[in-house]
């Protein structure tokens, strides 16, 4: 999904703007895969007035789905809004890509024989929370907003698979009607793609492609997410927000499936410290800890009956600023730093074996893809590379620092890597800790040398990881640009032969590991505590768990 705060590094908008959002004291062709939803409904019992509570690692930066690109934002968006499709309840044992999503706003959809045209049929009972119907125009309007030149949407490039979307976003095309999005009537959305895109259904289930209430946004502009204006189309509506404290949700009575939603209320408690999250869970103040547990306590926590672990489609890594005045512009210096890191030691000792060593940038658990290049621990070769780069002595390397946002686990990793670089290369590096908002501002403005980062795939395809490093990608934030790399990914996008497509992506990954701005460290898993009364909680490799799928068993 995205940039992670504690497990996924994201951004956008202004927190100050959010503070004014809620001044409330508390206040079918491959398309009819509804089985996940049905399973969730079967598990739900009577309606529950009990508030479902879980932890959020930080304040969302925005509630505007066109602007958001972060994990905290996604936690809200997936429950408050819905797209044509939505993520399936689970990714476990899924064999077909069509099973990764479920129809919601679209009652069904069809794909043309050549795989380039999707026709979505909207359900006629879909409404915004103010009672207005959700129409095809709400989708076209939202997508046009994301692609409008100059609009602050980091994820605009996700839409480049749509015909002429890139040209419109770059300003080369000024006529929206020429973009491959048609709305022949109020309940039909037709999307024309440049080439067959096997992961497009997952894009249609991602918040950047969610609809927006045209009648509200046109009236209030960027202020449409303020408390007195905002409307949504998901199972829940925003019911209150206090920065640094909580976000409250309540069931949306206008939701098309409201009768099947078990939990009436939810509260996302904003707790930055992992130890405090565990304490709140143990005190009965949370039903779910969200993602990430404090490593210092993990030996005890994994023995609990309410400990839950699921594999994740994600990677923890360090990004490197390679702009002209950076001390790390030389690829051999960056490779030396990577080769001097003992990832096995970090995973086994520092992270207590909770994660998997990252030998490449694309996670090894992505079905149908295998990296052909890898990173490893070779301190002697690292020293040699530094010498070849013109730094025979460590003192010859200009000073640089590692930036990380406040989190004890991030600090543990940073301290270990700091020690490894000192021991293996003789390089001294400063560690800089900032709060999430400051961290994002510094990364966005390339005001750093090295910064920790994490990425959870937005869809189950290597492109969700590799596209990060393309020239102009809104989430690149490194200053790195490589014409050959861009060319390989473009060839992959235009290749219909799956084997050749995979080979182009493998070459691109090898290139970014050799010359690029990234040092992969480990692959994520999601470690959490989950109250045993919670039903409907199924493993998901992107850690997406919709509240509407959950219910609470009665206390004995």
Domain-embedded: residue 373: yes
331-339 helix and 498-515 helix, angle to the nearest 10 degrees: 90
The parent domain of residue 236 ranges over 2-283+531-552
292 within some domain: no
**Per-residue pLDDT reduced to its tens digit, 327-347:** 899 999 999 999 999 999 999
- Is 444 domain-assigned? yes
Same-domain pairing of 513 and 547: no
pLDDT class of 37 with cuts at 50, 70, 90: very low
Same domain, 269 and 317: no
State residue 437's pLDDT score: 83
SS3 521: strand
Lowest model confidence (mean pLDDT) among 89-98, 159-168, 229-238:
89-98
pLDDT of residue 47: 61
pLDDT confidence bin for 453, thresholds 50/70/90: very high
- Residues 540 and 312: their CA atoms lie apart, in Å, by 7
- CATH number at 16 reads 3.40.190.10
Secondary structure element (H or E) that encloses residue 413, with its range:
helix 408-425
Q: What's the mean per-residue pLDDT of the chain?
A: 89
What are residue 79's DSSP bridge partners?
none
Candidates 374, 496, 522, 472; CA nearest to 160 is 472
Q: Where are the beta strands (DSSP E) in 423-495?
A: 430-434, 450-456
Query: What is the count of structural domains for the chain?
Result: 2
Angle between helices 331-339 and 379-388 (to 10 degrees): 160
| The token pair that represents 313 in the structure block | 């489609």
Q: Given a cut of 80, is residue 16 above it in pLDDT?
A: no
The reply to whether 513 and 544 lie within a common domain is no
- Please check whether residues 363 and 495 belong to one and the same domain: yes
Residues 270 and 317 in one domain: no
Q: Quickly state the pLDDT bin for 48 (edges 50, 70, 90).
A: low
The angle at the Cα of 132, spanning 131 to 135, to the nearest 5 degrees, equals: 140
Alpha-helical (H) ranges within 445-482 are 463-466
One domain, residues 278 and 337: no
In this structure, are 259 and 241 located in the same domain? yes
Residues 468 and 538 in one domain: no
Residues 491 and 543 in one domain: no
pTM of the model: 0.80
pLDDT in tens, 282-307: 999 999 999 789 988 988 999 999 99
The answer on 121 and 88 residing in a single domain is yes
- Sign of the CA dihedral running 386, 387, 390, 391: positive
Is a pLDDT exceeding 80 seen at residue 4? no
What length is written for the chain?
A: 556
My answer on whether 323 and 199 are in the same domain is no
Structure tokens at 367: 């079905």
**469-490 exposure pattern, b = at least 16 Cβ within 10 A, e = fewer:** bbeebbbbbbebebeebbebbe
| 336 and 481 assigned to the same domain | yes
* Least confident range of 248-257, 297-306, 386-395, 521-530: 386-395
Q: The domain that contains 472 carries what CATH number?
A: 3.10.105.10
């Amino acid at each position: 999904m995205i940039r992670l705060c504690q497990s996924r590094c994201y951004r956008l908008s202004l927190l100050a703007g959010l503070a004014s959002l809620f001044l409330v004291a508390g206040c079918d062709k491959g398309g009819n895969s509804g089985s996940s939803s049905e399973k969730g409904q079967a598990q739900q019992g009577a309606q529950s007035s009990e508030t479902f509570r879980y932890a959020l690692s930080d304040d969302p930066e925005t509630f505007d789905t066109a602007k958001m690109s972060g994990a905290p934002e996604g936690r809200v968006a997936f429950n408050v809004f819905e797209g044509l499709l939505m993520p399936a309840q689970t990714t476990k044992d899924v064999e077909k890509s069509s099973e990764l999503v479920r129809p919601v706003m679209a009652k069904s959809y069809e794909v043309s024989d050549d795989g380039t045209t999707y026709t979505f049929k909207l359900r006629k009972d879909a409404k915004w929370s103010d009672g207005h119907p959700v129409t095809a125009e709400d989708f076209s309007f939202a997508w046009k907003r994301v692609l409008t030149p100059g609009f602050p949407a980091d994820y605009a490039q996700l839409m480049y698979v749509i015909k002429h979307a890139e040209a419109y976003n770059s300003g080369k095309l000024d006529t929206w009607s020429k973009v491959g999005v048609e709305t022949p009537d109020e309940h039909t959305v037709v999307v024309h793609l440049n080439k067959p895109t096997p992961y497009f259904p997952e894009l249609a289930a991602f918040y950047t492609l969610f609809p927006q209430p045209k009648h509200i946004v046109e009236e209030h502009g960027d202020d449409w997410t303020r408390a007195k204006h905002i409307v949504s189309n998901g199972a829940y509506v925003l019911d209150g927000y206090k920065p640094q404290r909580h976000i409250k949700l309540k069931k949306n009575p206008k939701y098309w499936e409201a009768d099947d939603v078990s939990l009436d209320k939810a509260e996302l408690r904003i707790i930055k410290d992992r130890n405090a999250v565990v304490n709140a869970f143990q005190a009965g103040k949370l039903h779910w800890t969200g993602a990430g547990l404090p490593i210092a306590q993990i030996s005890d926590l994994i023995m609990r009956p309410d400990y839950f672990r699921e594999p994740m489609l994600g990677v923890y890594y360090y990004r490197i600023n390679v702009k002209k005045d950076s001390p790390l512009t030389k690829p051999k210096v960056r490779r030396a730093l990577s080769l001097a890191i003992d990832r096995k030691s970090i995973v086994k000792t520092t992270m207590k074996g909770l994660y998997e060593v990252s030998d490449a940038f694309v996670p090894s658990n992505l079905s149908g893809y295998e990296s052909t290049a890898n990173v490893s621990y070779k301190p002697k070769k690292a020293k040699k590379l530094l010498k070849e780069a013109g730094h025979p002595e460590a003192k010859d390397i200009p000073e640089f620092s590692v930036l990380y946002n406040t989190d004890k686990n991030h600090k543990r990793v940073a301290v270990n890597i700091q020690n490894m670089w000192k021991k293996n290369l003789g390089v001294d590096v400063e560690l800089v800790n900032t709060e999430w908002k400051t961290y994002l501002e510094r990364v966005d403005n390339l005001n750093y040398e090295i910064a920790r980062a994490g990425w959870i795939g937005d869809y189950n395809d290597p492109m969700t990881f590799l596209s990060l490093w393309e020239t102009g990608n809104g989430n690149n934030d490194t200053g790195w640009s490589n014409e050959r790399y861009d060319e390989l990914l473009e060839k992959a996008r235009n290749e219909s032969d799956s084997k050749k497509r995979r080979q182009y992506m493998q070459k691109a990954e090898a290139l970014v590991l050799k010359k690029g701005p990234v040092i992969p460290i480990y692959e994520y898993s999601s470690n959490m505590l989950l109250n045993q009364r919670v039903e409907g909680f199924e493993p998901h490799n992107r850690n997406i768990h919709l509240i509407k799928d959950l219910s609470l068993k009665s206390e004995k």
